[in-house]
Structure 1
Amino acid sequence: MVSTVQNTDVKQKDADHAVVVAVTSRAVFNSRAEDDSDVYGESVAFPLLQSLQKINERLLEENPAESLLFDVILITTDRQQQQQSSCIISSTKHHGLEVGRFCFSNEEDFTESLLKNSVQLFLSTDGNEASQVSQKGVLSALLDENSASCPSEQLRVLLCGDTLSQSDASLALLSRQAAQNFSAQLGKMRQRFGMFDSPLWISVVTSHGGREACSDSLRALRSHGVSVDEAYCLAGAPRGPILSLLRPHFLLRESFSGLQD
């Protein structure tokens, strides 16, 4: 059973042009009410939603008729949280988060609800959920506790270049198409802003290989209209220090395999 509630406090996005991002409610809220109220506290995805909202605000400042915007869906699969749906909705409004829709679903049907809502990126703290969604051809990424310390004024996306230039026969065609579509839309958004003071920052890192591997990754991205702000070639060095320096909201990896045509 799937129930979708539209947030009447938020202007709905153009369904033909918006970039639909679904985030699990447990990643946004910690499900513990603040001061015995009906408002939940913040969790790891809270800064991410604020950064998506900042991009929308900046885009509309530049062009009030802009339709290439992030459309955020909050999805709940936890039965207890479904029973507390009013608290989730009131918490979203209390914190001023721009969420267009609330989707309440059981664990068996939640992937179908993502497809029904044309979700282009699914974000969760649950690895099983992310894997299940990927198998359905929806681009997904994992969030962790480090996401809670990410900036809220700028969305930082890190692409793993090791898979950008490599073919992966085991990856479904739908997953490749989803990755290409999302990266192209992300690239279009980035082009809306100048080189400096952009609310969207795209980086790519290659853990293996030398300059050629990094160059291949950059060419693959550029062929889909994506110009990155930073590129790092680690040549076998650990990726941890770069991650702690860049502090990306999320890392997109396997779903970008076979990005080249």
Structure 2
Amino acid sequence: RPCAFISAFVHTLQALMSVNARLRQLYPDSEELFDIVLMTNNHAQVGVRLINSINHYDLTIERFCMTGGQSPIGYLKAYLTNLYLSKDGEKVMEAIEEGIAAATMFASGDVENKLSDTQLKVAFDGDAVLFSDESEIIVKQHGLDTFFEHEKEFENKPLAQGPLKCFLEALGKLQRKFYAKNERMTCPICTYLVTSRSAASSGARVLKTLRSWGLEIDEALFLAGAPKGPLLQKIRPHIFFDDQMFHIEGAKELGTIAAHVPYGIGQKYHKEKLSEQPAKDTK
């Protein structure tokens, strides 16, 4: 029987393989590809089952890390990890605290969206995911009106980076390899910003921040507080990253594979730390 984790996310893995195949066609001698490492704290005896699962779905995953009961987090930096995904929230938290981009994976609910096997679609929330949680702190402490004033005042000051900025950078680096071959319109990687921010009152700072980083996003959706699930159902991303569990749940209910990023003021552990600090000046 195939491994349940691999079964749940097989379309995402197939899309990664498809991008790699396209890159090899364009750059036969390049090693700049998606490099997937399957990590588990199980013992090596489970390796046969993992290999059978990978072969069942015709996937190309060459590297395993089976730690025999020990946490695999210590190996992440050695693997130069750009993104760590797990169903174990504690391990994800441990990775985040080590400065590694990480998220807890949740399979989609009863609704199942048809996903592309040839184009990788990745959707990101903004605050506390691509960007720091500095703006969310202002919302929580001082309310929306102060937040809107703050974002207008600091529109030209880039936001600090969040935990998944480095993963967007890695995706952008691969996208540019396709652009260099005049394949911008047929690039097999597509990125989305799906944020609760309003475009008119707080969207400019986000877009200017991305520009200051030298990063592009293919599509930006400013929802002004509207539910994200229906838009994600239309986009059909292979994975959607958000720091708020209610957005994760809303995405799951409508068939989107979602990944929770345990970072920022929205997380219990961070609230406890924040309560010990003086309130930040909003000016």
Q: Same fold (TM over 0.5)?
A: yes
Query: 1:166–1:177: structure 2 CA closer, same or farther, 3 Å change rule?
Result: closer
Question: Could you say if the C-alpha distance between residues 215 and 67 of structure 1 is closer, same or farther in structure 2, counting changes exceeding 3 Å?
Answer: farther
- Which SS does the other structure have where 2:99 is aligned? coil
Contact 2:120–2:189 (CA under 8 A) maintained in structure 1 = yes
Unaligned runs of 5+ in 1: 1-27, 32-41, 170-174
Displacement of 1:74 in angstroms is 0.7
Higher strand share: 1
Amino acid at match of 2:58: G
Q: Cα 1:176–1:232, aligned 2, differ >3 Å: closer, same or farther?
A: closer
8 Å contact 2:85–2:105 — kept in the other structure?
yes
For 1:34, the equivalent position in structure 2 comes to none
Task: Specify which of 119, 139, 143 is matched with residue 154 of structure 1.
Answer: 119
Task: Assess, with a 3 A threshold, how the Cα gap between structure 1 residues 237 and 94 changes in structure 2: closer, same or farther.
Answer: closer
What pairs with 1:30-179 in structure 2 (closer than 5 Å)?
30=4, 43-78=7-42, 82-106=44-68, 108-146=70-108, 149=113, 150-163=115-128, 164=130, 166=132, 168=134, 176=161, 179=164
Match of 1:181 in 2: 166
Shift of 1:107: 5.1
Aligned to 2:193: 204
Aligned residue-pair number:
215
Which has more radius of gyration? 2
Structure 2 length-normalised TM: 0.65
1:111 Cα deviation from its structure 2 partner: 0.6
CA distance in 2 between partners of 1:247 and 1:146 (Å) = 11
The answer to whether the 8 A contact 1:74-1:101 is kept is: yes
SS in structure 2 of the partner of residue 143 of structure 1: strand
> What is the TM-score of this pair, normalised by structure 1?
0.70
**Residue 29 (1) aligns with residue 3 (2):** yes
The separation in 2 between residues aligned to 1:98 and 1:219, in whole angstroms, is 38
Q: Which runs of 5+ in 2 are unaligned?
A: 136-159, 244-260, 265-283
CA–CA distance in structure 2, aligned partners of residues 246 and 96 of structure 1: 26
Structure 1 residue corresponding to 2:221, chosen from 211, 227, 232: 232
What corresponds to 1:35 in structure 2? Answer: none
* Amino acid paired to 1:29: C
RMSD: 3.1
Alignment partners' CA distance in 1, 2:70 and 2:134: 28
Query: What whole-Å deviation, never above 9, does each CA across 1:113-171 have from its counterpart, x for those lacking one?
Result: 222222110112333332222122111123222297432221111111234455549xx
User: Which has the larger displacement, 105-114 or 152-161?
Assistant: 105-114
Cα offset, 1:231, TM superposition: 0.8
Give the structure with the higher percent helix.
Answer: 2
CA 210–129 in structure 1, closer or farther in 2 if over 3 Å, else same: same
Matches of 2:211 and 2:38, distance apart in 1: 31
